[in-house]
């Protein structure tokens, strides 16, 4: 292949890519529309390939407009198209569409509604200002919404509910992967404090899988006030920068990525104070960025998460193994091991 041919192909690829940027928001907004209409729910419940006419009737939609939305989602492999007979084709579920079912076991619907809602979307307009400024001033989220993420959630019950449900979605997927991928982490752990445990979704799955564990769901007072209650879980409100309830192990899932290194070290030192020196440990579930893998799809998701943290939380970031090692050692943890458990999450066990 001559140089000229390579250049033309690269230019053609660049042109396709630029249109993907021009219209990048279409993907998230079509998926948001599909969730709001309940398309994945109706197709899944139908049980066999569903013709457009029946889908339109069930959703009370205008068929030609629904057809255009469905055509896009079939192209994006959210739904499949299968023949029903010689003349008609129907839509079927896929593993991806099942992630969009509202209230489904593996639903990510609330997370998509959170990120495509006005408070989070408005954030992105001040990303360039954030990159330009020096020091840790205020996050784009705060510029757009007048309050940092946690204060905004406290003051806006609807946003708070959506945020907690979104975290619950992620927790269900990730905790199942943790239980399957490294159950040995919970051997001998009689009490577990979930630091920043949100509405308690993660802990309720953990105590169900490992019934010998007594759980403490620890989060800000306004969060635990609306958390589910159960016999094996105590909800405790407080501030993890001040003190953390005592337990054999502290569990932190997607909490440390909201804070900078200094803040993480403060939280981890509080965790150390909360666990026994001899047999205590912290269990961290987070992304571990692999710098040399940024070209692959999983690496790309890690970098998108990192950018979202810069926009939405003030000082949050995703970390490489070297960066995790730094914050753990600075907090007094001497040994740790890391195990990937799903697409973008790993479990880090760290010992004093």
Ligand X SMILES: C[S@@+](CC[C@H](N)C(=O)[O-])C[C@H]1O[C@@H](n2cnc3c(N)ncnc32)[C@H](O)[C@@H]1O
The catalytic residues are 257
Instruction: By CB under 6 A, tell whether 171 contacts ligand X.
Output: yes
Query: In angstroms, what is the minimal distance from the CB of 36 to ligand X?
Result: 23
Instruction: By CB under 6 A, tell whether 176 contacts ligand X.
Output: no
The 3-class secondary structure across the chain, one letter per residue, is CCHHHHHHHHHHHHHHHHHHHHCCHHHHHHHHHHHHHCHHHHHHHHCCCEEHHHHHHHHCCCHHHHHHHHHHHHHCCCCEEEECCCCCEEEECCHHHHCCCCCCCCCCHHHHHHHCCHHHHHHHHHHHHHHHCCCCCCCHHHHHHCCCHHHHHHHCHHHHHHHHHHHHHHHHHHHHHHHHHCHHHHCCCCEEEEECCCCCHHHHHHHHHCCCCEEEEEECHHHHCCCCCECCEEEEECCCCCCCCCCCEEEEECCHHHCCHHHHHHHHHHHHHHCCCCCCEEEEEECEECHHHCCCHHHHHHHHHHHHHHHHCCCCCCEEHHHHHHHHHHCCCCEEEEEEEECCEEEEEEEC
Question: Which residue number, 170 or 319, has a Cβ lying nearer to ligand X?
Answer: 170
| Total Cβ atoms within 10 A of residue 262 | 11
State which of positions 208-247 bind ligand X (CB under 6 A): 219-220, 223, 239-241
Instruction: By CB under 6 A, tell whether 200 contacts ligand X.
Output: no
Instruction: By CB under 6 A, tell whether 349 contacts ligand X.
Output: no
Instruction: By CB under 6 A, tell whether 202 contacts ligand X.
Output: yes
Instruction: By CB under 6 A, tell whether 110 contacts ligand X.
Output: no
Instruction: By CB under 6 A, tell whether 253 contacts ligand X.
Output: yes
Q: Determine contact, residues 334/326, Cβ cutoff 8 Å.
A: no
State which of positions 143-162 bind ligand X (CB under 6 A): 150
Question: Which residue number, 101 or 171, has a Cβ lying nearer to ligand X?
Answer: 171
Region binding ligand X by CB under 6 A among candidate stretches 73-81, 102-110, 194-202, 300-308: 194-202
Question: Which residue number, 50 or 311, has a Cβ lying nearer to ligand X?
Answer: 311
Region binding ligand X by CB under 6 A among candidate stretches 18-26, 30-38, 192-200, 298-306: 192-200
With CB under 6 A, what is the number of residues at the site for ligand X?
18
Rounded distance, CA 14 to CA 20, Å?
Answer: 10
State which of positions 30-69 bind ligand X (CB under 6 A): none
| Interface pick for ligand X out of 90, 197, 280, 302 (rule CB under 6 A) | 197
Query: In angstroms, what is the minimal distance from the CB of 216 to ligand X?
Result: 12
Query: In angstroms, what is the minimal distance from the CB of 99 to ligand X?
Result: 16
Cα dihedral value 125, 131, 137, 141, nearest 10 = 30
Region binding ligand X by CB under 6 A among candidate stretches 26-34, 71-79, 225-233, 249-257: 249-257
| Total Cβ atoms within 10 A of residue 289 | 21
Instruction: By CB under 6 A, tell whether 196 contacts ligand X.
Output: yes
Query: In angstroms, what is the minimal distance from the CB of 266 to ligand X?
Result: 10
Rounded distance, CA 303 to CA 241, Å?
Answer: 27
Instruction: By CB under 6 A, tell whether 319 contacts ligand X.
Output: no
Query: In angstroms, what is the minimal distance from the CB of 295 to ligand X?
Result: 27
Instruction: By CB under 6 A, tell whether 115 contacts ligand X.
Output: no
| Interface pick for ligand X out of 167, 182, 216, 310 (rule CB under 6 A) | 167
Question: Which residue number, 140 or 198, has a Cβ lying nearer to ligand X?
Answer: 198
Rounded distance, CA 247 to CA 102, Å?
Answer: 35
Instruction: By CB under 6 A, tell whether 258 contacts ligand X.
Output: yes
User: Which residue sits closest to ligand X, CB atoms considered?
Assistant: 196
Binding residues for ligand X, rule: CB under 6 A, are 150, 167, 170-171, 196-198, 202, 219-220, 223, 239-241, 253-255, 258
């Amino acid at each position: 292949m001559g140089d000229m041919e390579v250049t033309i192909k690269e230019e053609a690829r660049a042109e396709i890519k630029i249109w993907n940027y021009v219209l990048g928001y279409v993907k998230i907004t079509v998926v948001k529309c599909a969730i709001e209409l309940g398309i994945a729910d109706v197709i899944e419940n139908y049980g066999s390939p569903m013709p457009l006419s029946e889908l339109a009737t069930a959703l009370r939609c205008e068929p030609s407009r629904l057809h255009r939305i469905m055509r896009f989602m079939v192209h994006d492999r959210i739904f499949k198209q299968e023949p029903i007979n010689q003349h008609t084709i129907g839509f079927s579920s896929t593993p991806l569409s099942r992630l969009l079912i509202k209230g489904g076991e593996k639903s990510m619907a609330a997370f998509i509604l959170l990120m495509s809602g006005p408070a989070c979307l408005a954030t992105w307009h001040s990303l360039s200002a954030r990159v330009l400024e020096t020091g840790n001033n205020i996050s784009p989220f705060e510029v757009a919404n007048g309050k940092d993420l946690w204060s905004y959630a406290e003051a806006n019950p609807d946003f708070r509910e959506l945020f907690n449900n979104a975290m619950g979605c992620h927790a269900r997927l990730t905790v199942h992967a943790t239980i399957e991928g490294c159950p040995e982490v919970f051997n001998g752990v009689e009490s577990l404090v979930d630091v920043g445990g949100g509405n308690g979704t993660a802990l309720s799955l953990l105590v169900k899988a490992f019934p010998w564990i007594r759980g403490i769901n620890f989060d800000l007072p306004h969060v635990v006030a609306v958390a589910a209650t159960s016999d094996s879980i105590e909800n405790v409100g407080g501030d993890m920068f001040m003190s953390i309830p005592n337990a054999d192990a502290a569990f932190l899932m997607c909490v440390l990525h909201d804070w900078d290194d200094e803040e993480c070290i403060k939280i981890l030192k509080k965790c150390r104070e909360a666990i026994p020196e001899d047999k205590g440990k912290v269990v961290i579930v987070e992304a571990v960025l692999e710098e040399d893998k940024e070209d692959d799809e999983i690496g790309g998701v890690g970098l998108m998460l990192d950018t979202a943290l810069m926009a939405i939380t003030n000082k949050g970031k995703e970390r490489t193994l070297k960066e995790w090692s730094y914050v753990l050692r600075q907090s007094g943890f001497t040994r740790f091991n890391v195990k990937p458990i799903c697409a973008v999450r790993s479990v880090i066990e760290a010992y004093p």
